């Protein structure tokens, strides 16, 4: 499955923002948000909502790359997100996401009929390479009933 294409087809808002993916690996993803005037805030950087959407999209791709084979029996849902805006971003921004759970343990919980929860962390860097935001998105796999 082409995770990036699947995510952008499933989440039209990510397409609207112009989010693209550099890579999607097992439990990882790197996504970009272009530097567009219509995405800027009152201080000239990407709006906080656009940065969050980038991070959430990257986290979703990382999650799908690890658990996409479970979609026939569970629905992935973001449950909680924590965002730290550290510095004003300038230019294009890049989000690097990584799964912070053991795939086998998560699937075992799903096999046991439970609703596993796990985190994906995301670091966002601006065009100069400065860390501008840290995001943790908590996901669950809700079993189909």
pLDDT tens digit string along 125-135?
999 999 999 99
Read off the pTM: 0.96
CA distances, 27 to each of 15, 40, 92, 96 (Å): 22, 30, 23, 11
pLDDT of residue 115: 97
- Give residue limits of the domains in the chain: 3-143
Residue count of the chain, please give it.
145
CB count in 10 Å sphere of residue 111? 12
φ/ψ of 72, rounded to 5, equals -75, -15
pLDDT tens digit string along 73-103?
999 999 999 999 999 999 999 999 999 999 9
What mean pLDDT do residues 96-124 have? 97
Fold of 3-143: Thiol Ester Dehydrase; Chain A (3.10.129)
């Amino acid at each position: 499955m082409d995770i990036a294409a699947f995510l952008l087809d499933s989440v039209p808002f990510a397409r609207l923002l112009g989010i693209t993916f550099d890579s999607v690996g097992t439990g990882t993803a790197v996504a970009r948000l272009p530097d567009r005037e219509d995405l800027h805030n009152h201080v000239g950087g990407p709006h906080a909502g656009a940065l969050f959407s980038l991070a959430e999209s990257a986290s979703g791709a990382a999650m799908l790359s690890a658990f996409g084979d479970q979609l026939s029996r569970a629905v992935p849902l973001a449950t909680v997100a924590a965002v730290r805006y550290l510095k004003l971003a300038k230019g294009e921004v890049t989000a690097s996401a990584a799964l912070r759970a053991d795939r086998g343990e998560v699937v075992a919980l799903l096999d046991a009929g439970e609703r596993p929860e796990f985190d994906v962390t995301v670091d966002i860097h601006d065009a100069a390479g400065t860390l501008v935001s840290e995001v943790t998105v908590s996901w669950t796999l809700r079993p189909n009933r």
